[in-house]
């Protein structure tokens, strides 16, 4: 019988305890800023109908055509592990009647997403993002707010040399005409495009602008710019977005070839990139845009919307290379609870719970029976006091308090110990 080596799947990984502190830090930054702007948390299922993303994200996008984890259930339904958040949140908005709430509805979330990409350093098949969405408001001020929030999250995480790349990709009024101009240009350069972009030329020429292949980048640099072909409404909207960014004093540059890789975007699109010391882009940390047609496309009312998402894995990988491991920021433990014998152990567990309810941090080593080994543990932790709970203490309802600096021991009635230790802790502050 062949011995099978059991390990994690390609592109999947464990998030070990030493990495949890980074995830917690990102979560805290996202949660803090989201709450300040009055966004509410939402969590959607990891498993969704495939049609949601085929229709919403776009059948010819790389996400849907190449990267989705899809399979049929025992009942025959075609389902996917969600590859992104926005269609799921729009589905929830429609299904749960959120259009009846006061608009706009502001939502945020974080969690795992799944794409079948080639695993490489820093890129996983199960990856994590934070996500911000505003549904039910067409004002350019919402675009400004989402960009500001995304920028602030990265600033709170100590990113310094970041800038916003922004563009408008128009809407159903002006984009069809621009597509014709763009198609004509790329047809004249077809032999210089990669095989994927030659296919995209038939299906959606805007996708070519998102290609990262070097040969396509060169062709793209001479392509017509959509910003020169915006209709009056899109031009006015984009002008106001830029005025908001100016007023907010946010660092931005116009990137006329920025389109983002998903079909539902309209008008404003943006990415926040980090610049190296020589001014070159290190790739996007976060990005998003307006998607005014998606709610209607998925069966809801005509509802304007704007959103953004950030790559948590990429953010954490960068943080880990730049700084010492952040503090776990746990409150210093000055008390160690030592116990001897079965009755002492049982009563110690109850006492430990009373300390927890009083929000007083206490260290322990319930797995050890020897007082010497427990005192050694307390000594290594640098605690100030050890509470010793043995058989005698358990029988007579008191506890022995040992000062680790002086070695002095005193007895405290069991029903007074939590309050007395609270007072001692307060005196240290």
* Mean pLDDT along residues 230-244: 95
pLDDT, residue 282, reads: 65
Residues above pLDDT 90, as percent of the chain: 52
pLDDT, residue 193, reads: 86
Nearest to 123 by CA among 10, 281, 258, 208: 10
Inform me whether the pLDDT recorded for 203 exceeds 80. Answer: no
pLDDT, residue 64, reads: 80
pLDDT, residue 308, reads: 97
pLDDT, residue 342, reads: 82
Structure token digits, residue 66? 């190449």
The domains of the chain are located at 17-174+230-322, 335-422
What CA–CA distances, in Å, run from 236 to 80, 83, 168, 231, 259?
A: 39, 33, 11, 9, 19
CATH number of this structure's domain 335-422, picked from the four choices 3.40.50.300, 2.130.10.10, 3.40.470.10, 3.40.50.800: 3.40.50.800
* Mean pLDDT along residues 301-306: 96
pLDDT, residue 395, reads: 87
pLDDT, residue 329, reads: 47
What is the overall mean pLDDT for the chain?
A: 89
Q: How far is it, in rounded angstroms, from Cα 193 to Cα 296?
A: 34
Q: pLDDT of 135-150, one tens digit each?
A: 999 999 999 999 999 9
Structure token digits, residue 200? 């995209």
CATH 3.30.930.10 fits 17-174+230-322, yes or no: yes
Q: How far is it, in rounded angstroms, from Cα 355 to Cα 33?
A: 32
Q: Is pLDDT larger for residue 201 or for residue 422? A: 422
Cβ atoms 404, 416 nearer than 8 A: no
Q: pLDDT of 340-382, one tens digit each?
A: 888 878 888 888 888 888 889 998 887 777 888 888 888 888 8
Inform me whether the pLDDT recorded for 223 exceeds 70. Answer: yes
* pTM listed for this prediction: 0.81
Lowest mean pLDDT among 273-277, 309-313, 419-423: 273-277
* Mean pLDDT along residues 18-39: 94
- Length, in residues, of the chain: 429
pLDDT, residue 394, reads: 84
* Mean pLDDT along residues 69-92: 94
Q: How far is it, in rounded angstroms, from Cα 162 to Cα 252?
A: 9
pLDDT, residue 74, reads: 93
Q: Is pLDDT larger for residue 93 or for residue 405? A: 93
* Mean pLDDT along residues 196-206: 82
pLDDT, residue 326, reads: 53
Inform me whether the pLDDT recorded for 261 exceeds 90. Answer: no
pLDDT, residue 47, reads: 96
Inform me whether the pLDDT recorded for 215 exceeds 80. Answer: yes
Q: What is the dihedral of CA 104, 105, 108, 111, to 10 degrees?
A: -130
Q: pLDDT of 284-296, one tens digit each?
A: 999 999 999 999 9
Inform me whether the pLDDT recorded for 72 exceeds 90. Answer: yes
pLDDT, residue 239, reads: 96
Residues facing residue 113 across a β-bridge: 127
């Amino acid at each position: 019988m062949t011995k099978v080596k059991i390990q994690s799947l390609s592109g999947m990984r464990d998030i070990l305890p030493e990495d949890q502190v980074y995830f917690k830090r990102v979560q805290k930054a996202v949660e803090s800023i989201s709450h300040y702007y009055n966004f509410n948390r939402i969590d959607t299922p990891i498993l969704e109908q495939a049609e949601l993303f085929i229709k919403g994200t776009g059948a010819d996008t790389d996400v849907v055509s190449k990267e989705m984890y899809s399979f049929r259930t025992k009942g025959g339904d075609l389902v996917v592990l969600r590859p992104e958040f926005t269609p799921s949140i729009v589905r929830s908005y429609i299904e749960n009647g959120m259009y009846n709430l006061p608009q706009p509805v502001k939502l945020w979330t974080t969690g795992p997403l799944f794409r079948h990409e080639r695993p490489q350093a820093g890129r996983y098949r199960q990856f994590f993002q934070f996500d911000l969405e505003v549904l039910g408001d067409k004002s350019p001020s919402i675009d400004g707010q989402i960009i500001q929030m995304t920028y602030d999250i990265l600033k709170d995480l100590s990113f310094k040399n970041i800038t916003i790349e922004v563009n408008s990709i128009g809407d159903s009024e002006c984009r069809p005409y621009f597509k014709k101009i763009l198609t004509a240009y790329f047809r004249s350069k077809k032999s210089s495009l990669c095989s994927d972009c030659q296919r995209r030329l038939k299906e959606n020429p805007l996708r070519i602008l998102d290609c990262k292949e070097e040969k396509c980048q060169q062709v793209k640099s001479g392509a017509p710019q959509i910003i020169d072909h915006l209709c009056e409404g899109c031009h006015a909207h984009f002008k106001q977005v830029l005025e908001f960014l100016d007023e907010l004093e946010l660092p931005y540059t116009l990137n006329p070839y920025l389109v983002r890789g998903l079909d539902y975007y309209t008008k404003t699109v943006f990415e926040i990139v980090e610049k190296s010391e020589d001014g070159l882009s290190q790739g996007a940390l976060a990005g998003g845009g307006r998607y005014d047609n998606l709610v209607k496309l998925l069966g809801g009312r005509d509802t304007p919307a704007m959103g953004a998402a950030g790559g948590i894995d990429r953010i954490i990988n960068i943080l880990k290379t730049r700084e010492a491991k952040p503090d776990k920021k746990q409150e210093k433990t000055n008390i160690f609870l030592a116990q001897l014998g079965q009755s002492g152990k049982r009563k110690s567990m109850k006492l430990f719970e009373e300390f927890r309810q009083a929000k007083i941090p206490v260290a322990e080593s319930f797995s050890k029976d020897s007082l010497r080994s427990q005192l050694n543990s307390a000594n290594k932790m640098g605690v100030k006091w050890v509470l010793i709970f043995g058989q005698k203490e358990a029988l007579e309802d008191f506890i022995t308090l040992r000062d680790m600096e002086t070695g002095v021991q005193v007895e405290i009635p069991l029903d007074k110990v939590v309050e007395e230790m609270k007072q001692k802790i307060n005196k240290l502050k």
